Amino acid sequence: GAGVSQTPSNKVTEKGKYVELRCDPISGHTALYWYRQSLGQGPEFLIYFQGTGAADDSGLPNDRFFAVRPEGSVSTLKIQRTERGDSAVYLCASSLMHGVNEQFFGPGTRLTVL
Amino acid sequence: GQQLNQSPQSMFIQEGEDVSMNCTSSSIFNTWLWYKQDPGEGPVLLIALYKAGELTSNGRLTAQFGITRKDSFLNISASIPSDVGIYFCAGLLRGGGSNYKLTFGKGTLLTVNP
């Protein structure tokens, strides 16, 4: 079946603008994760959803970042008033359940804030 | 956020050579994972280790979970050009309140010269 998909693959925006990044998890996966990967770094955890609810948003850097998953499937990561430091690859992953179940990663959205 | 200490940062080797990379942490993990990331893609799981001292192979890959639970290594034998990519270690603490939160190393960039 299809893997995790993310759109857009690339997003260029100007400082101060609002952006939305979308993640379509693998069908049937109840757990969904967002990570941020800066250049030369490993992915860093942002937020985890179990079903529709955000079970852990402790990795979100500040209140400009918000994510939703209203129907327990597709998720949207929203960034308000973007800053140049937000430039990174935003990765989404999903797993059958949380815990040791393998997290399958999408290809990521490369966000560039000019 | 916390990241694991992964070394070396990069390696340039000839096709057919063996490769070794390792990861250390100041914290204990009870699961160690090794991922490979190709350009423009998300990380893909290579090997998962669940017990201290465990040695696991997957084809030409061999990984070990350190006895102290604070380190792991990955060996690749008889490298081939398609081994090129960035290899990440990741730790996971099962059974705790955050048993979904992967902590990644900074990665090892592997280049294989044909």
CB of B84 closer than 8 Å to CB of B108: no
Residue A20: count other Cβ atoms within 10 Å of its Cβ: 15
Q: Does A40 touch chain B (CB under 8 A)?
A: yes
Q: What is the pLDDT along chain A (114 residues), one digit of tens a residue?
A: 589 999 999 999 999 999 999 999 999 999 999 999 999 999 999 999 998 988 889 999 999 999 999 999 999 999 999 999 999 999 999 998 766 678 999 999 999 999
Q: Count Cβ atoms within 10 A of the Cβ of residue A74 and give its class: 0-12 exposed, 13-18 middle, 19 or more buried.
A: middle
Nearest residue in B to A59, CA atom:
B1
Angle at the Cα of B102 (from A92 to A91), degrees rounded to 5?
15
**A5 to chain B, closest Cα gap in Å:** 10
**Chain A interface, best mutation among B4, B9, B50, B100, by max A CB count within 10 A:** B100
> pLDDT at position B34, please?
96
The segments of chain B whose pLDDT lies below 70 read 1-2, 94-99
Task: Kindly determine whether residue A100 and residue B101, on different chains, have CB atoms separated by under 8 Å.
Answer: no
Measured between CB atoms, which of A40, A56, A102 is closest to B98? A56
> pLDDT at position A54, please?
87
Beta strand extents in B5-54 (DSSP E only): 5-7, 10-14, 19-24, 31-37, 44-49
Which of A38, A46, A5 minimizes the C-alpha distance to A113?
A: A38
> pLDDT at position A99, please?
64
| CA atoms within 13 Å, Cβ hemisphere of B100 | 29
> pLDDT at position B16, please?
97
